[in-house]
Amino acid sequence: MSRISVISRRVAGASVSLVLAAGLAACAGPEDSSGGGGSGADGKPAKGGTLSVLNSNPQQDFDPARLYTSGGGNVPSLVFRTLTTRNREDGAPGAEVVPDLATDLGKPNKDATVWTYTLKEGLKYEDGAPITSADIKYGIERSFAAELSGGAPYLRDWLIGGADYEGPYKSKKGLDSIETPDERTIVFKLNKPEGEFPYLATQTQFAPVPKAKDKGTKYEEHPVSSGPYKVVKNENDGEHLVLERNEHWDPKTDEERKAYPDRIDVRSGLDSAVINQRLQASQGADAAAVTTDTNLGPAELAKVSGDKKLAERVGTGHFGYVNYLAFNPKVKPFDDPKVRQAISYAVNRSSVINAAGGSSLAEPATTFLPPQKSFGYTKYDHFPAGETGNADKAKELLKEAGHEDGLKIKLTHSTDKDFETSPEIATALQEALQKAGFTVELDGLESNDYSEKIHNVKSAPGLFLAHWGADWPSGGPFIAPIFDGRQIVKEGSGNYNAAELNDPAVNKEIDEINKLTDLDAAAARWGALDQKIGEQALTVPLFHPVYKRLYGKDIKNVVISDWTGVLDISQVSVK
Amino acid sequence: MTEALLVKEAGAVQAAPASGARSFWRRLRTQRAALAAAVVVALLVLVALAAPLLTALAGQDPNAYHPEAVDSAAGGVPLGSFGGIGAEHWLGVEPGTGRDLFARIVYGARVSLGVALFATVVQLALGVTLGLAAALGNRWVDQAISRFTDVVVALPLMVMALALLAIVPQSVPRPVLIAVVVGLVGWSGTSKVVRAQALALKSLDHVAAARLSGWSTWRIARRELLPSLAAPVITYGALLVPANISVEAALSFLGIGIKPPTPSWGQMITEADTWYATAPTYLLIPASLLFVTVLSLTVLGEGVRVALDPRAESRLKVGAAKARMRKRSSR
């Protein structure tokens, strides 16, 4: 018989949880810095030196057409400039969108269906060739090619003719809804009003690609840089990426990227425990190291918070993200609003937060929108459970619903340890709900099985752990996929509207807000809409995660925005 | 005359178990390490059986959360020294949840020991049956069973267990299911040992005599082979129990073992792995218990093996060589 070593299994498991943590980080961006802002060391940031990046996930498919980023990504944004980009500032101002290659955020027509951009003067590629609007059009067109898939679906959904376009390799004609009347002007024609188009223009698909240098799927080995750094080495599909200064990048055209180090060495495929250990030790080259995808875990945080010197080297940030309990009202007894409300009252957010790593790594959530200004956060708590749950109120509601003898329910979660849909969180909820008269059966599913089931309307369980993060810091991409009835996916996997809410009033308000080009006004309306939907108790918001990441001793000028929640590599200095 | 001899011989075999059991206990008692191990194992079983009593005595519940016992801002590390050990929580609390470790340890013993013992019984039952069938059946039966056993030996146990556990509905009681699954995939070693031993025994005179006198295969197996197989099988079984505890731990670690919130030692060790630096007692307590259990069972198993091995008796005594020589000369 073969005997399994518990130790080696444990190590294997640790690396699994690392990849998961990294996955979470990859799809989430960082946000709002409360504690980590400011310079990590004395003195002004200066040019020079080599910055090391220690990551779990490789910079896979390093092609602007294939990257799925929020705000252009951290490492990709060093190489790819886009029409607009995120504001590189600490906290809330960092969640604003600002011009990058373009002179402004775009000029919309009256109903926000046509957006016109003008490029800055003197923009050059790493070989000194000028960047033209036709290159940006070409860059977007090639992201429609099947072999270069991977990016966000918005361009396909929004551009006129986008749904049927197959990319420049198959269709020589190009996409008519993108016009380039001259070398510095580009016009986008959309099939519906989209006031948030400037946010979309931060994604890497809006980076220029010179047609003559395009090598299809091989372009990722050496994409032509428009940013402060160019790729000098790309090994094993982004496992080891070395960037050096692009001499043709003119800082006068770029107000956002500081680009202090001369060289940036990105190493990936490392275990998260190893990354955190190396950053703690901060020896040799690791003194000038950061990570862009690995958070501190609860146990590591316990060690770091006990050491003042280490605690100073922790960057804290908030990414727009929510972890919640999702209801599928098609499954009994969750069709009864009283049962959903009873569960909303019964949850013990303190114990859930402890299961998620404690109050330093998660903040209680009573709203679906994350608590940042740019999302239009409007505070509400329709079913106040307090810190530890209101079992009495929940029992009362259960009685009203005709379940005075208690109610048996099933809570579905994934079996991944130390993850946001983990058995630990499910068990904490089970304990709290039990106090309110529920008998909770836990149904743990293997993670692939889990995500397949919960995103398919035919197999979605009645109550499960879910999470959501937006592609840019606004209410639109946060609320619409979850509550817009027209985004219900009836066939196959990919449905995020678990409640299958198809409320004409909600759909109409979403359309109305999308017409607004005043982003602040839109934010306020998203906040109000969130509050309104919240009355239906279709979800139980549980917590908003907080990012805590270590950086090396020599790192200066740490900037953590509310957009990404992690330190911005373009601002960091090592001298 | 021949018949009378055979009957006499058969009678001798029949009498053997009684005197064997007596001498077995006598021989086991002379081994202090094995005795100590037996006491430890008995204590552990007692603790597992008395889990509700012991937790009531401690005034704790294995599944009750105590958020006040941990420092939430520091990742949920237990408050107080040594993982929160004190009058209230005898062995401290679990990081993050604040659940009482003493209560979880004693309830965890039920799962870990129960699953391991039950799985061992299943493994031995299957292994002995199939091993004997292969040894006593005709060429085709032997070939079929032996090749099947080879295939099972070659299959990685964990992969098989994962596959089996994945297809069984969640409604089946988890501890029973795990014991059966581990039993179903882990019998091949026993089967091979039993077959080899049985084949060797088959060629001995007393078995041949039994066959010649027209005994049925079943009767030969029961009366002639099983008594002699007891020693290797019991020994093997004693070594399987600790291995099965480890398998249960590994399965729990992979998330397909015991379902939360039911505690098991394996699960606790799994959860504790990241906490070794900041809350070492959380890892040390269940890990030491698992170590002690596995060690005791292994020592006890070795003791049983020695006690059952007739040749070992002489080795147990000082001056064994002389004793053996005397015996030989007296013959």
Q: Residue B209: give the domain boundaries.
A: 3-64+100-329
Mean pLDDT of A346-371: 94
Q: Is the pLDDT of residue B2 over 80?
A: no
Q: pLDDT over 90 for what percent of chain A?
A: 78
For β-strands A289-290 and A539-545, DSSP reports them as: unpaired
Q: How confident is the model at residue A445 (pLDDT cuts 50, 70, 90)?
A: confident
- Give residue B310's pLDDT: 62
The residue of A8, A271, A354 whose CB has the most chain B CBs within 10 angstroms, and thus the best one to mutate to test that interface, is: A354
Over residues A327-356, the pLDDT tens digits come to 999 998 999 999 999 999 999 999 999 999
* Number of domains composing chain B: 1
> What is the C-alpha radius of gyration for chain A, rounded to an integer number of angstroms?
24
| pLDDT digits 0-9 by tens, A268-320 | 999 988 999 999 999 999 999 999 999 998 889 988 888 899 999 999 999 99
Search chain B and give the residue with CA nearest A2.
B157
Peptide bond before residue B261 is cis, with ω within 30 degrees of 0: yes
pLDDT at A98: 96
CA of A359 to nearest chain B CA: how many angstroms apart?
Answer: 5
Residue B166 lies in a domain: yes
The CATH number assigned to the domain with range A321-545 reads: 3.10.105.10
User: Tokens 């249960």, residue?
Assistant: B248
Task: Please check whether residue A281 touches B, CB under 8 A.
Answer: no
- Of B227, B302, B52, B68, which is closest to residue A388 (Cα–Cα)? B68
Round to whole Å and give the CA distance between A389 and A350.
Answer: 9
Mean pLDDT of A555-569: 93
Contacts of B95 in chain A (CB under 8 A): 298-299, 302
pLDDT computed for residue B312 by the predictor: 56
Q: List, in order, residues 6 or more apart from B54 with CB less than 8 Å away.
A: B47, B102, B106
- Domain of B309, CATH number, reads 1.10.3720.10
| Contacts with B246 from chain A: Cβ below 8 Å | 3-6
In a domain, B87, yes or no: no
| Contact residues on chain B for A430, CB-CB shorter than 8 A | 260-261
Whether the per-residue pLDDT at A188 is higher than 90: the answer is yes
Cross-chain CB nearest to A427 (options B71, B95, B261):
B261
In which band, very low, low, confident or very high, does the pLDDT at B170 lie, cut at 50, 70 and 90?
A: low
Shared fold status for A3-263+549-574 and A321-545: no
Shortest Cα distance from B313 to chain A (angstroms)? Answer: 30
Q: Does B172 touch chain A (CB under 8 A)?
A: no
For residue A36, give how far its alpha carbon lies from the nearest alpha carbon of chain B (Å): 16
Q: Which residue has the higher pLDDT, B128 or A4?
A: B128
pLDDT of residue A509: 96
Q: By the CB < 8 Å criterion, does B164 face chain A?
A: no
Task: Give the residue-averaged pLDDT of A153-168.
Answer: 92
Contact B278 A302 (CB under 8 A): yes
Given CB atoms, is B247 within the 8 Å cutoff of chain A?
Answer: yes
CA distances from B307 to A240, B17, B235, B269, B302 (A): 61, 13, 10, 34, 9
Q: According to the model, what pLDDT value does residue B208 have? A: 84
Is A10–B253 a contact, with Cβ atoms under 8 angstroms apart?
yes
Pairing of strands A240-245, A263-267: antiparallel
Mean pLDDT of B321-326: 49
- Asked whether the beta carbons of A54 and A279 are under 8 A apart, the reply is yes
Q: Which of A531, A537, A506 is nearest to A401 (CA)?
A: A537
**Between chains, do B74 and A360 touch, taking CB under 8 Å as contact?**
yes
Contact A4 B166 (CB under 8 A): no
β-strand A263-267 against A50-54: which pairing, if any?
Answer: parallel
pLDDT band (50, 70, 90) for residue A29: very low
Please report, to the nearest 10 degrees, the dihedral formed by the alpha carbons of residues B190, B195, B197, B199 taken in order.
Answer: 180
What ipTM did this prediction achieve? 0.70
pLDDT score, position A5: 32
Q: Largest Cα–Cα distance in chain B?
A: 89
Over residues B40-62, the mean pLDDT reads 90
Mean pLDDT over residues A229-253, rounded?
A: 95
Is B260 near chain A, with CB under 8 Å?
yes
Question: Burial of B57 by CB count in 10 Å (0-12 exposed, 13-18 middle, 19+ buried)?
Answer: exposed
Cβ neighbours of A353 in B, within 8 Å = 72
Q: Which of A376, A415, A323 is nearest to A28 (CA)?
A: A323
Q: CB distance B270–A303 less than 8 Å?
A: no
For every residue of B219-261, DSSP letters joined together read HHIIIIIHHHHHHHHHHHHHHHHHHHHHHHHHHHHTT-SSPTT
Partner A, chain B 95-154, Cβ-Cβ below 8 Å: 95-98, 153
Residues of B whose CB is below 8 A from A13: 253-254, 270, 273
How distant is the Cα of A413 from the closest Cα of chain B, in angstroms? Answer: 11
**In this predicted structure, what is the pLDDT of residue B20?**
66
Handedness of CA A192, A196, A201, A204 (dihedral sign): negative
Residue B5, pLDDT > 60, answer: no
* Closest residue in B to A449 (Cα–Cα): B166
DSSP state of B93: B
Residue B129: pLDDT over 70: yes
Q: Which of A244-258, A396-410, B43-57, B197-211 is predicted with the least confidence, judged by mean pLDDT?
A: B197-211
Task: Check A1 against B243: CB less than 8 A apart.
Answer: yes
Q: Which of A62, A50, A59 is nearest to A225 (CA)?
A: A62
* pLDDT tens by residue, A475-533: 999 999 999 999 888 887 788 999 999 999 999 999 999 999 999 999 999 999 999 99
Question: How far apart are the CA of B218 and the nearest CA of chain A, in angstroms?
Answer: 28
A314 in contact with chain B, both atoms CB, cutoff 8 A: no
B271 has a chain A CB within 8 A of its CB: yes
Cβ neighbours, 10 Å, residue B135 = 24
Residue listed under structure tokens 């990016």: A151
Please give the CATH topology (third level) of the domain spanning A3-263+549-574: D-Maltodextrin-Binding Protein; domain 2 (3.40.190)
Average pLDDT in chain A: 89
Which of the four pLDDT bands, split at 50, 70 and 90, describes residue B173?
confident
- pLDDT band at B323; cut points 50, 70, 90: very low
- List chain A domain ranges: 3-263+549-574, 321-545
pLDDT of residue B307: 80
3-state secondary structure of B96: coil
Closest Cα in chain A, distance from residue B151 (Å) = 12
CB contacts under 8 A, B 179-198 vs A, are 186, 188-189
Contact A1 B275 (CB under 8 A): no
CB-based contact B276:A14 (threshold 8 Å) = no
Residue predicted with more confidence, A562 or B226: A562
pLDDT tens digits for B285-300? 988 988 898 888 888 8
β-strand pairing of A539-545 with A321-327? antiparallel
Inside any domain, residue B17: yes
Do A1 and B260 make contact, defined as CB atoms within 8 angstroms? no
Residue A40: how many other CB atoms lie within 10 Å? 21
Answer yes or no: is pLDDT of B14 > 90: no
What's the gap in Å between the CA of A441 and the closest CA on chain B? 10
CA-nearest residue to A425 within chain B is: B97
